[in-house]
A and B are shown apart, each in its own frame.
Chain A
Amino acid sequence: KNQVEQSPQSLIILEGKNCTLQCNYTVSPFSNLRWYKQDTGRGPVSLTIMTFSENTKSNGRYTATLDADTKQSSLHITASQLSDSASYICVVRETGANNLFFGTGTRLTVIP
């Protein structure tokens, strides 16, 4: 069964600290993996998208990694800011079919 699991479910960190969010998947065959940021009351916004051949991609203070062999991805946030408080969603696309698998997200809270 194709699944996407994210951990932790929630996380609280101090402003200025780094953190790493995890996404493990069983989707096969794999096409791509995307990380979204969703602010409260807003729609998800794409941060990065990675294909099978990419193992690192950055977007400002956000760096995503992908290990297609172990089917794991991580999103690393550097020098966190209050505005990073949001839910982060991992989405994996299956090759050859119009199937996307959404994780349930990690709720990040950055406190001063």
Chain B
Amino acid sequence: DAGITQSPRHKVTETGTPVTLRCHQTENHRYMYWYRQDPGHGLRLIHYSYGVKDTDKGEVSDGYSVSRSKTEDFLLTLESATSSQTSVYFCAISESLENQPQHFGDGTRLSIL
């Protein structure tokens, strides 16, 4: 299995609180991605990174921010969580854009009450 670790794996929090999800990779891949997966929808891209401190928005970026201070770490932050952000969040990595996304983490199940 590719070396991708997401933490926490499960989290329950209240509306209005800040939440940070972490993705850590040991593959030294340049590209990292955050997706959310909801019933009835395909995986949807939130943000991605193409290098340290280089990030860009995806399809559903509103309400989310990201940071990448090191090659191996990509953080997803919900500044003020809302119930609509209850979802399963997946981190993914790839060596190139053409080959994306190569490997996924096992997800973080986030419930916002």
Q: A residues touching B (Cβ–Cβ < 8 Å)?
A: 4, 31-32, 41-46, 49, 89, 91, 93, 98, 100-105
Chain B 42-80 interface residues, beta-carbon cutoff 8 Å to A? 42-45, 48, 56
Say how far B20's CB is from chain A's closest CB, in angstroms. 19
Complex Cα spacing A31 to B96, Å: 13
Knowing A31-B98, A43-B90, the reply to whether A103 touches B42 (Cβ < 8 A) is yes
Which of B41, B100, B104 has a CB less than 8 Å from the CB of A43?
Answer: B104
Name which residue of chain A comes closest to B105, CB basis.
A43
Chain B residues with Cβ below 8 Å from A44 are 43, 90, 104
Task: Decide if B106 is an interface residue (CB 8 Å cutoff).
Answer: yes
List 22 A–B pairs whose Cβ atoms lie within 8 Å, in order of A's numbering: A32-B98, A41-B106, A41-B107, A42-B106, A43-B4, A43-B90, A43-B103, A43-B107, A44-B90, A44-B104, A45-B104, A46-B102, A46-B103, A89-B43, A91-B42, A93-B98, A93-B100, A100-B45, A100-B100, A100-B101, A103-B42, A104-B40
* Total residues of chain B contacting the partner, CB 8 A: 22
Indicate if the CB atoms of A89 and B42 lie closer than 8 Å: yes
Indicate if the CB atoms of B104 and A104 lie closer than 8 Å: no
Chain A residues with Cβ below 8 Å from B99 are 49
Identify 10 new A-B residue pairs, CB closer than 8 A, beyond the known A43-B4, A49-B99: A31-B98, A42-B107, A43-B105, A44-B90, A46-B102, A91-B42, A98-B97, A101-B42, A102-B43, A102-B44
Name which residue of chain B comes closest to A36, CB basis.
B104
Chain B residues with Cβ below 8 Å from A103 are 42
Complex Cα spacing A90 to B104, Å: 15
Chain B 82-109 interface mask (CB, 8 Å, partner A; 1/0): 0000000010100001111111111100
Complex Cα spacing A105 to B99, Å: 20
